[in-house]
Structures are given as C-alpha cells and as structure tokens.
C-alpha cells in the first residue's frame, strides 16, 4: 500500500490537530445517516448506500453502523482507497471516477457525497451519475463560499489548489436542478453550536485560527475538545442571520 499523506484537504480520525475538521465532517455524516435512515425506511427503498468520494472511509463506516445497510465506498485516489480498504475490511470498496460510476441504474437506496463537488471538473456529469444510480435521497455537502473564501466571486478559481469551484446556496441549488430536474433540492447549513459560538464571541473565528501559520495554544486546545454536538445542521433559511454557515448541505 502506498503511504497516504495528509495534505490539509483530507482528514483522518485520531489526529489531535485535525480534530475540529474531522468532527465537523463526521457530524455531517451523522446527520446524513439519520435522514437516510428515516426516508429510506419510510419509503421501503431496497438497496444499500453509495458513499461517493469516501476518502479515508470513516464516514462510510458511520453510515453502515447507523443505517444498518450495506455501504459501497467509492474513492478515486489510489493511496487513500488502499488505506480505507485496509482500515475497514468489512466494507465494500471500489476505486472509480465519480463522473463514470460502474453501477447499474437505481442500484442504491441512497447516496452521500460530502465535500466532493468543489473538486470536480465536470460537476453536472458527477451529479447526473449520482442521480442515475440512486432511487432515494442524495445528500451533498460543500464549503459555503461566502464564509469559506470571503471575497471570492462566483465562478472565480479558489485559492485552495484542490478546489475547482466553490458555491453559494443559490448556485448549488441551481446546479442540482440542472443536473436532475425531477429532483427538488432542499438546502441546509452546517453551523457552530452554542459552545463554539461562545468561544468565538471572545476569541474570534476558530477555523481561521486553526488555518493561521502559527496556531495559538488556546485555539489548539479548544479545537481538540470539539465534539459532534458542537455542530448543527439547520434549514438554510432558518439559520440565524448572524450565524456563519460553514458548509452547505443539500438533501436532493
């Protein structure tokens, strides 16, 4: 197995300096698992769950444990896919390009693809493939451009070298509508909970502090204490006007 390298774009469990990012991502997986469990059971949808762009695999493991369905974890990057296969051997792993998925139509009851669309050169092809393969709900997440990259205009290339394009809420909704007009997206926002907001009220933005060239000790220590209960996913239009919506989450 080729050794995987932390680039700042993927995160892993069990790394103290990555805890905030890891837990924030896992909180979105936990929310997705709850929604999928409720909707797929109510609709009696057959099939497992597709995790498209599954990375290290911890989110796929969360989906499998919470939804009690089979999960197929799809990842293109070879070292990351090999690492996931070795770490989670009881789960099905497929190495594939997300714009050309190797699955039959309507193979899955649900699909999840978190923090992926911003990396894709042909997002319409990618989203159409997810819709083609999936009977039930599809959950997408992506950084909220106005918060993640302040000042970056629509369509401008992000400073992050791993991102092709970043989105605001109307852009994401329009993209999803273009990809599958028969589906209706509902946009949510991932926001900090009360404890995180209280810390930031006196200390400033925690993500900004963690991305600084030198991370302050108090920010580092607090970030290591963050748990999934420190994040909530709320309907976008219901988020408090002063709340920073860090990630957009679409139920599609």
* Residue pointed to by tokens 């498209």: 52
Q: Is 38 a member of any domain? A: yes
Q: Could you give phi then psi for residue 234, rounded to 5 degrees?
A: -125, 155
Number of C-alpha atoms within 13 angstroms, CB side, residue 252? 28
Q: Examine the pLDDT at 10 and tell me if it is beyond 80.
A: no
| Total number of domains constituting the chain | 1
Nearest CA to 4 out of 108, 75, 111, 77 is that of 77
Is 10 part of any domain? Answer: no
Residue 205 falls within a domain, yes or no? Answer: yes
Supply the pLDDT for residue 1.
42
State mean pLDDT over 27-33: 97
Max avg pLDDT among 1-15, 81-95, 106-120: 106-120
The domain containing residue 204 runs over which residues?
16-251
Q: Is residue 224 part of a domain?
A: yes
Question: Which helix (H) or strand (E) element contains residue 20?
Answer: helix 19-42
Specify whether the CB–CB gap between 27 and 231 falls below 8 A.
Answer: yes
Write down the mean pLDDT value for the chain. Answer: 91
Q: Which value, to the nearest 10 degrees, does the dihedral of the CA atoms of residues 27, 31, 34, 37 take? A: -110
Domain membership flag for residue 176: yes
Worst-scoring range by mean pLDDT, 21-30, 82-91, 95-104, 169-178? Answer: 82-91
Q: Render pLDDT for 147-196 as a digit per residue (tens, 0 to 9).
A: 988 888 898 898 888 899 999 999 999 999 999 999 999 999 999 999 99
Residue position matching structure tokens 């995180």: 196
Q: Is 91 contained in some domain?
A: yes
- For residues 22 and 13, is the Cβ–Cβ distance under 8 A? yes
Q: What is the pLDDT of residue 9?
A: 58
Confidence of residue 45 (pLDDT cuts 50, 70, 90): confident
In a domain, 11, yes or no: no
**229: domain CATH number?**
3.40.50.150
**Complete DSSP assignment for 129-158:** HHHHHBSS-EEEEEEBHHHHSTTPPTTPPP
Residue 84 lies in a domain: yes
């Amino acid at each position: 197995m080729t050794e995987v390298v932390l680039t700042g774009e993927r995160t892993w469990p069990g790394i103290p300096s990555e805890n905030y990012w890891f837990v924030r991502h896992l909180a979105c997986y936990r929310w997705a698992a709850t929604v999928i469990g409720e909707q797929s059971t109510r609709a009696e949808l057959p099939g497992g769950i597709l995790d498209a762009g599954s990375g290290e695999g911890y989110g796929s493991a969360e989906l499998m444990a919470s939804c009690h369905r089979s999960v197929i974890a799809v990842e293109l990057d070879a070292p990351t896919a090999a690492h996931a296969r070795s770490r989670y051997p009881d789960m099905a792993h497929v190495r594939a390009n997300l714009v050309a998925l190797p699955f039959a139509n309507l193979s899955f009851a649900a699909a999840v693809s978190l923090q992926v669309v911003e990396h894709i050169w042909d997002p319409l092809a990618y989203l159409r493939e997810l819709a083609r393969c999936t009977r039930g709900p599809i959950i997408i997440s992506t950084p909220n451009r106005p918060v993640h990259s302040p000042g970056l205009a629509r369509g401008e290339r992000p400073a992050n070298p791993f991102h092709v394009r970043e989105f605001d809420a109307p852009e994401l909704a329009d993209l999803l509508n273009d990809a599958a007009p028969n589906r209706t997206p509902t946009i949510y926002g991932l926001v900090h909970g009360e404890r995180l907001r209280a810390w930031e009220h006196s200390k400033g933005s925690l993500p900004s502090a963690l991305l600084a060239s030198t991370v302050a000790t108090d920010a580092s220590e607090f970030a290591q204490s963050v748990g999934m209960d420190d994040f909530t996913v709320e309907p976008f239009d219901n988020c408090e006007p002063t709340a920073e919506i860090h990630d957009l989450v679409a139920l599609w």
